[in-house]
Structure 1
Amino acid sequence: MSIELKPMTQADVSALMNLFQLYLYDMSKYMHWPISQEGRFEFDENIVLAYFRQADHHPYFIMSNGEIAGFALVRRYPYDADLIDMGQFFILGKFKRQGLGQAALKACLQRHPGDWQVRVLPQNAGAQSFWTKTITTLTNNAHHTSTGDYQGTEMTFIHFSSESALCSAD
């Protein structure tokens, strides 16, 4: 299986908006967001549009053998510009548990060297397991975890360096 991190362009906004609905569907198990009368999740579209308007925001399709397998939205963390933040990360169900997520994170780290963080909802056991295992593997356990508030929601924060990840993973 080949993996590619493909930078999105303005022409990809519509595709990302469609994929974001699937991401919100997955997250609704934990956030209990209601569905609109039109059958869509309502959200502030500026969350997505910022990735096409701000220089420190980087949207990527995660591609597997030429097919969209998900997305990675990488940015400078708005509360600490020294941190690179995985804003949102999503892998379509048919691509899960194939090593694609780990390969996509490694590709993100190669493109954006520095100090990183990933934020995870504490109740999202699947994401907690994925991120902990993936970051532990890539960094040879050189990371630390904390809990805190992010925009009114308690989150688990996993902090690590791309340098430790790229040195350990090769």
Structure 2
Amino acid sequence: MHVIPITETNINIYHTLAQYYEAEFSPLTGKKPDASGIFELDTHLGEEIMGFLLKVDHLPAGTAAIAFKGNKSYEVCEFYVLPYFRKNAIGMRFAHKIWELYPGDWEIKQLQGAEYATKFWRKTIERFNQTAYREEQYQDPYWGTVTRQQFTVS
């Protein structure tokens, strides 16, 4: 397993996997593809949002988009592992690796109806950060009511 920053040389892989992510969550977001079959992305990489590519056996297995909010504060904006690779705790290890790279305050949100994602994040946080974390129902200005976890990585 390798975690690689998204650069100009691999951004096409990120955009391809982002389409799979958008399609998988479309029943919850209500988003439809355009006439070309392409979903509009909610998160665009740039100075404040960095992307990561997960590779397993030299194959693209997942992506993450992390917002750098300043003062060692971060948010997981997008996180996706292809269904084929969802075993052997690959997603958990992917998240843990990113958190190890960026100690500080973290925030993760899940849409209503994504209970499987909330279950994944609870387990992933508990296994990484043996201290307590805060979870609440939060009114997100973009997504509406979401489940939000906040914790600190030292």
Q: Same fold (TM over 0.5)?
A: yes
More helix by share: 1
Q: Which of 27, 33, 36 is the equivalent residue of 1:35?
A: 33
Partner of 1:65: 57
SS at match of 2:35: coil
Partner of 1:167: none
* Partner Cα separation in structure 2 for residue 141 and residue 37 of structure 1: 47
TM norm structure 2: 0.90
Question: Which whole-Å deviations, capped at 9, do the CAs of 1:82-134 have from their partners, x for residues lacking one?
Answer: 52101110000001132111111111011111011111113101101111111
TM norm structure 1: 0.82
Residues 11-22 of structure 1 mapped to structure 2, 5 A cutoff: 11-22=9-20
* Partner Cα separation in structure 2 for residue 105 and residue 95 of structure 1: 14
Following TM superposition, the consecutive aligned residue runs of length 4 or more in structure 1 with deviations greater than 6 angstroms are none
Q: Which of 137, 150, 153 is the equivalent residue of 1:159?
A: 150
CA gap 1:24/1:113 in 2 versus in 1, 3 angstroms: same
Paired residues of 2:64 and 2:76 also in contact (CA < 8 A): yes
Partner of 1:108: 98
CA gap 1:43/1:74 in 2 versus in 1, 3 angstroms: closer
Q: Does residue 119 in structure 1 map to residue 109 in structure 2? A: yes
* Deviates further, 11-20 or 95-104: 11-20
* Deviates further, 65-74 or 30-39: 30-39
Partner of 2:81: 91
Q: How many residues align?
A: 153
Q: Which of 113, 138, 150 is the equivalent residue of 2:128?
A: 138
Q: For structure 1, which runs of at least 5 residues remain unmatched after alignment?
A: 164-170
One-letter amino acid of the structure 2 residue matched with residue 32 of structure 1 = G
* Partner Cα separation in structure 2 for residue 42 and residue 152 of structure 1: 15
Paired residues of 2:33 and 2:39 also in contact (CA < 8 A): yes
Paired residues of 1:122 and 1:128 also in contact (CA < 8 A): no
* Partner Cα separation in structure 2 for residue 75 and residue 20 of structure 1: 16
Report sequence identity in percent.
20
